[in-house]
Amino acid sequence: MEYRIEHDTMGEVKVPADHYWGAQTQRSFQNFAIGTETMPVEVIRAFAALKSAAAAANASLGRLDQERCRAIQEACSAILSGEYKDEFPLKVWQTGSGTQSNMNANEVIAHIGMEGRPGLLIHPNDHVNMSQSSNDTFPTAMNVAALAALRDYLYPSLDRLAATLRRLEEENRDVIKIGRTHLQDAVPISFGQEISGWRAMLEEDRRMIGEASDHLRDLAIGGTAVGTGLNCPEGFDRLCCEQISAITGEAVRPSANKFHALTSKDAYVFTHGALKALAADLMKIANDIRFLASGPRCGIGEISIPENEPGSSIMPGKVNPTQCEAITMIAVQVMGNDAAVGFAASQGNYELNVFMPVLAYNMIQSIRLLGDGMASFEKNCVCGIRPNREKMAKNLVRSLMLVTCLSPSIGYENAAKAAHKAFEENTTLKEAVLALGFMSSEEYDERVRPEKMV
């Protein structure tokens, strides 16, 4: 491999000649060979948007000349378009401020910007990082990355899944089945009503995530090292946020208190908590679906779901609810990520939180997993749910909890006697009520009408 010599304040470093990064990136690449988790591409893209915005703001304030501004912005545009993906190799497990990823962006942008411009010097710190510090750029980038990921990956899948459930709700509004509480038989419910609960969960989660993530729009940029804004000109934060909004399509604003923005990650905790709520609801929905589809002969079997692949390497013909299993595993991972986010956010020591890379990594992973998982769940399972009307009707007739509608006529205690008698003697509820003399056959048929109980 061929190398070139780069230098930083600690001296010279050999850097692969075919890469655009510089000395500080190389030092991090060598010193933190930990795990396989690299900085999420969403964070890299957010850095490119931020650096382009900062260049424009600095040029507008007369601090950066137009030629360097244009070169920096063109480099950032190329990164945003998907070029230079191999120039960002740094691991999540690095300095907790994300300084090395900030410098990775600075160095790559500087070298790309100088390419094809003989005689133009773009310094990673002096020009690309002008009016900034890693301490305000990384928290800015991680917020912008989360907002973009929610918009691009999570909301489309969430909305599509909710829409499919709404369709199924309408299609099954008149399908009556037995309800269940405590895993035991309860009073009747329509299948459409049951699905409406699932649909409403997702719509409420959507609202909660939107409300929580609004706090991510308050950016730390302009706070520089400790929140005082040292070396940052007045108005830079506002201009930078305006440019970030224009580049990303996400409306952002300067944080009113930069000291808070640098040291606290409460907005991340709040937003990820809403993601955990979505994960919890998806766990419930997927479990309901796989339990209702259990069987095919020895389970509940009230619904059928798509059969996508063989389920066993030893049992021929077995088919499993694999999409439900995948989404529930994702839910578990998101819940674990939420614990990591909470712990990491609690570590804001003095003027800076130094757990930011792991915060960003877990947030982006949760959003991606939920988005991809819901898309797969909707496409390969939920859209193909069909009611087993015969089994639903059979279970409905056999349920003893239909006796609930008799309480106003024969009283709670007599209704309980009828239910116990039917269960103990393995007869129908109607037979028990008639045997106890509580009602005539005609009175029973008039009173026990499941379609009127929902």
Q: For 130-189, what is each residue's pLDDT tens digit? A: 999 999 999 999 999 999 999 999 999 999 999 999 999 999 999 999 999 999 999 999
**Could you give the CA distance from residue 385 to residue 184 in angstroms, rounded to a whole number?**
23
pLDDT of residue 183: 96
Looking at 2.60.40.1180, 1.10.275.10, 3.90.420.10, 1.10.3720.10, the CATH number of the domain 3-130 comes to: 1.10.275.10
Q: How many CB atoms lie within 10 A of CB 197?
A: 15
81, 312, 407, 440: the catalytic one is 312
Q: What is the mean pLDDT of residues 64-81?
A: 98
Q: For 303-339, what is each residue's pLDDT tens digit? A: 999 999 999 999 999 999 999 999 999 999 999 999 9
C-beta separation of 213 from 147 below 8 A:
yes
Q: Tell me what the pLDDT averaged over the chain comes to.
A: 97
Assigned CATH topology for domain 399-452: Ribonucleotide Reductase Protein R1; domain 1 (1.10.40)
pLDDT of residue 324: 98
C-beta separation of 108 from 181 below 8 A:
no
Listed by start position, the domains of the chain span 3-130, 143-174+190-216+257-389, 399-452
Q: What is the mean pLDDT of residues 48-70?
A: 98
- 126 pLDDT band, cuts 50/70/90, is very high
Annotated catalytic residue 346: no
Q: How far is CA 7 from CA 11, 22, 23, 52, 103, in A?
A: 5, 8, 6, 24, 13
Q: What is the mean pLDDT of residues 117-141?
A: 98
User: Closest Cα partner for 39 from 89, 105, 83?
Assistant: 89
Assigned CATH topology for domain 143-174+190-216+257-389: Fumarase C; Chain A, domain 2 (1.20.200)
Q: For 226-247, what is each residue's pLDDT tens digit? A: 999 999 999 999 999 999 999 9
C-beta separation of 252 from 240 below 8 A:
no
Q: For 185-213, what is each residue's pLDDT tens digit? A: 999 999 999 999 999 999 999 999 999 99
Lowest mean pLDDT of 20-34, 91-105, 306-320, name the range: 306-320
Q: For 355-386, what is each residue's pLDDT tens digit? A: 999 999 999 999 999 999 999 999 999 999 99
19, 97, 134, 182: the catalytic one is 182
Q: For 255-289, what is each residue's pLDDT tens digit? A: 999 999 999 999 999 999 999 999 999 999 999 99
pLDDT of residue 149: 98
Annotated catalytic residue 182: yes
C-beta separation of 362 from 333 below 8 A:
no
